[in-house]
Amino acid sequence: MDSDRHGRTLRLELGDQTLRGWQAVVLASDPEQGLVLDRSAFYPGGGGQPPDHGVLLWGGVQTRVVGVRKTDDLWLVPADDDPLPPVGTQVRGGVEDERRTALMRTHSGLHLLSGIVFRDYGTLVTGGNMEPLQARMDFNLPVLPDGFRDAVTAACAVEVAADRAITTSTLPRERAFAEYPDLIRTATNLLPDDLEVVRIVDIAGLDTQADAGTHVASTKAIGALEILKIENKGKGFRRLRVRILEN
Ligand SMILES: [Zn+2]
């Protein structure tokens, strides 16, 4: 099974998270559904990380991409009133770098945060969501430990300064769980039963998780993580609201 493929589209962003521009051919063009490309680096959304924005350039024309819909295919959603390239058109794709890089820093920052909370408090994540440079993450924490906020903030700063490498790899499902029993760091196993290949995101020496998102190459590239607020949501869980700042 080719884990880098979704329907007719080769997902370039899974192999190279730094890629921002590429050549592609339009395989489907539909005013209702949008566009399907043979190759795309637009992250389609998932695992709490929202879809990329960007642009397709073709023959001096620009089609802005404002989202991605996942069906059997990856449908790029064009901006209202932008012209659609017909099937067979060669296009130059471009991911909006500012938004994607901010999302990569934010997503890696949440792995850093959940890795530290798991390491230091043994606590699992129950949910989360992110926008560029801000996010929330819910933890199973019936009682908030003394000094939790300051201790977690300080530990994040230490691990950013340590500049730990962040790498992705893929493993067959059975081997992945044999090698990493703690791979699913959320309280419920969200991996689909039919998933044969597991993508793994590893922060060296700190955290290993099954994950489909995009990440920066090392913890230093995250910047600083600030915990803005800790809300008690009842039922034993706390919501941490965080933002990512320049270091
Ligand atoms: Zn993730």
Return the pLDDT at 232: 94
**pLDDT tens digits along 124-173:** 898 899 999 999 999 999 999 999 999 999 999 999 999 999 999 988 88
C-alpha dist (Å) from residue 213 to 50, 56, 118, 143, 182:
9, 22, 20, 31, 18
Report yes or no on whether pTM surpasses 0.75.
yes
**pLDDT tens digits along 19-37:** 999 999 999 999 999 999 9
> 193 or 229, which is more confident?
229
- Rounded mean pLDDT, 63-84: 96
Mean pLDDT for the chain overall: 93
- Measured in angstroms, how far is the CA atom of residue 83 from the centroid of ligand 1? 34
- Measured in angstroms, how far is the CA atom of residue 80 from the centroid of ligand 1? 31
Q: What is the band of 175 on the pLDDT scale with cuts at 50, 70, 90?
A: confident
- Measured in angstroms, how far is the CA atom of residue 14 from the centroid of ligand 1? 13
Q: Give CA–CA dist 190/211, Å, rounded.
A: 10
**pLDDT tens digits along 75-100:** 999 999 999 999 999 999 999 999 99
- Measured in angstroms, how far is the CA atom of residue 90 from the centroid of ligand 1? 33
- Measured in angstroms, how far is the CA atom of residue 168 from the centroid of ligand 1? 11
Contacts of 18 (CB under 8 A, 6+ apart): 217
Return the pLDDT at 191: 67
- Measured in angstroms, how far is the CA atom of residue 187 from the centroid of ligand 1? 14
Return the pLDDT at 188: 54
Provide the 3-class DSSP secondary structure of residue 168.
strand
- Measured in angstroms, how far is the CA atom of residue 47 from the centroid of ligand 1? 6
- Measured in angstroms, how far is the CA atom of residue 202 from the centroid of ligand 1? 10
- Measured in angstroms, how far is the CA atom of residue 218 from the centroid of ligand 1? 15
Return the pLDDT at 92: 98
- Measured in angstroms, how far is the CA atom of residue 142 from the centroid of ligand 1? 23
- Measured in angstroms, how far is the CA atom of residue 96 from the centroid of ligand 1? 20
Burial of 187-212, coded b for 16+ CB within 10 Å and e otherwise, reads eeeeeeeeeeebbbbbbeebbbbbbb
- Measured in angstroms, how far is the CA atom of residue 60 from the centroid of ligand 1? 37
Where does residue 27 rank: exposed (0-12), middle (13-18), buried (19+ CB within 10 A)?
middle
Place of tokens 């196993």: 189
Q: What is the band of 178 on the pLDDT scale with cuts at 50, 70, 90?
A: confident
- Measured in angstroms, how far is the CA atom of residue 31 from the centroid of ligand 1? 33
- Rounded mean pLDDT, 176-201: 74
